[in-house]
Structure 1
Amino acid sequence: MDSRNYFRGGYFGRQQPREYSYYPETFTPAPPYYSKAPPSNQDSCRNLSKYVIYACNILYTLVGAGTLALGIWLRTDSRFRDFISERYRQAVDGAFWQAPTLFVFSYILIILGATMIVVAFIGCCGVVGGSRLFLGFYAGLLFMLLIFTISCGVYILYRQNGIEVELSDALNYMVQHYYQGPSIVQEALDRLQQAFRCCGNAGCSDFEVFRQDPPRTCDIRCDGCHYRIMIALQIGFSVAVVVYGICILAEIVDMSITFVLLFRNDQKKNQKPVYLFPSREEYEREMIAMGRRPIEDPRLQQMSHIRPQSRTKEW
């Protein structure tokens, strides 16, 4: 009887050996000692790697969606856009990189958020499909995303002083043109003073310099809006550093795992393992644990001296 037919339809078709190795190319063991079905713990490490990649992709999606929403809001909000256009019309129309930091920052947020969402989608497709093409493309995108995220952080740190100067300049402009300037200036300053409970740039004295009365939206404590807004920005930057720092660590771990899966798939290509008990004692112990009686076979003497090996056979 053919050993393979005996195994597929016989008594031992559902055995799951706990310990196994690849069989030698010159030896085919008796049917009770091998199985084409791998043990349940073989892919535990691979499954754990997939779950880690899924978790990282979920993080990318959430952070990317929040980043994209903030960038779109800064770019499309009518009050913010009209004020930027009114205050910095010459700079915005002249050169993009000479525009205010917040104006440039909105585009950076949109690009970064959209990139994170696309990378997360491609990563999930690559893990689910197991395609080496998707995994390789995903690893390349992860590297680009890592470089881009670090570059954005360096740019914001470099422009931090510029943000403070631009904020002070914008507040002085709004105080000076509160009563004589466009209505968007008055509306923007009122919204800032109500939101942060402040008044002017440094306090109520800013309006007295221009011989103007403080508006009704000024807080009676006369705290400057520059001080209040900078505190809020520092808190926001601290939260962003923590969030994107976690994303950078996740990108490094995710990229490492992806490369491991990619190269392991390349080494295991066109190889199909067959698992067997390393010795007769292991076979008998396994059969007793399953509540079955070991079957004697003429080739048991051959199995008794075979040691576990790490070899594969091409199918």
Structure 2
Amino acid sequence: MVVGCGNKCIKYFFWLLNFLFFVLGGVICGLALWMRFDQQWQQRIQGLIQINISTINFDQFYWLLYIVAAFGLILFILGGLGCCGSCCESICVIGIYFTLVGILFVLEIAGGVYLVINKDNIRNNLANVWRTELVANYQSNSVIRDTLDNIQRQMSCCGATGCSDYQSIPQSCTTCFSGNTYAVQGCAYALFDTFTSNMVIVLVIAIAILVVEFIALVFACCTCCAVKSKRNTI
């Protein structure tokens, strides 16, 4: 056992923190995989949004679920490493844990900086995808047409970047018929701006995750030092 009450507290807190990582990661991974392979959730979605989704391509949504599952798996593995390193008082395992969490910490910061710097490019790319994948298939695909009509009515927007995206403006673009069509906001821009307007919530969540990871790094160092201190006193 690690010598000293303070060292024991550090060790047990480190174990508890990683046990939470272990459980949370398992739950996230399990839920994501359940949503991916459950055959009934699509019917639940259809009941909620009240449109026919039988012809919708869910490939992109499936990729998102795989990413979420991978994130949960990473948490699960890191939590397991942390618990094992704490219980076995293994400097090697704790060192591997510290390295992996440190890499994840740096990548998350780099990803956040990238998103801030390239915000305009991401906004424009979203508009391009909206125009080529949705607006371009408005007439030929009834599912896309119903979905866009609902969005355009509810958000008072039109197309990807404005009314000019359509050769024949649909009736759901009510704002295009009430005044200056050039002043009407596109739906891609409207959705992106809605997301960025709630950026405070996203930032709070991101900062909370980084703080927890930083605490995990600190306690990994403290636990490692405590183990070394114990071995030096033997």
Q: TM-score range by the shorter chain?
A: 0.5 to 0.7
DSSP-derived class of the 1:264 partner = helix
Equivalent in 116, 123, 126 of residue 75 of structure 2: 116
**Structure 1 counterpart of 2:167:** 210
TM-score under structure 1 length normalisation: 0.50
- Stretch of structure 1 that moved more, 113-122 or 42-51: 42-51
RMSD between aligned alpha carbons? 4.5
Equivalent in 135, 138, 148 of residue 178 of structure 1: 138
> How far does residue 258 in structure 1 lie from its aligned partner after superposition?
1.3
The separation in 1 between residues aligned to 2:146 and 2:26, in whole angstroms, is 31
Alignment of 1:10-159 (within 5 A): 42-51=4-13, 54-55=16-17, 58=20, 62=24, 82=57, 111-159=70-118
**Structure 2 counterpart of 1:241:** 203
**Structure 1 counterpart of 2:158:** 200
Query: 1 or 2, which has the higher helix percentage?
Result: 2
> How far does residue 119 in structure 1 lie from its aligned partner after superposition?
0.9
Identity %: 18
AA matched with 1:140? T
> How far does residue 57 in structure 1 lie from its aligned partner after superposition?
5.5
CA contact (8 A) 1:59 1:247 kept: no
- Structure 1 or 2, whichever has the larger Rg, is 1
Per-residue CA distance 1:157-196 (angstroms, 9 max, x = gap): 34422221122223434335311x33453254245447x5
AA matched with 2:170? D
Per-residue CA distance 1:18-55 (angstroms, 9 max, x = gap): xxxxxxxxxxxxxxxxxxxxxxx942443145325523
CA contact (8 A) 2:23 2:76 kept: yes
TM-score under structure 2 length normalisation: 0.63
Identify if the C-alpha distance between structure 1 residues 147 and 265 changes in structure 2 by more than 3 Å, giving closer, same or farther: same
| Structure 1 segments unaligned to the other structure (5+ residues) | 1-40, 86-101, 273-315
CA contact (8 A) 2:126 2:188 kept: yes
Count matched residues.
210
Q: Does 1:226 align with 2:185?
A: no
CA contact (8 A) 1:172 1:201 kept: yes
The separation in 2 between residues aligned to 1:104 and 1:156, in whole angstroms, is 20
AA matched with 1:189? L
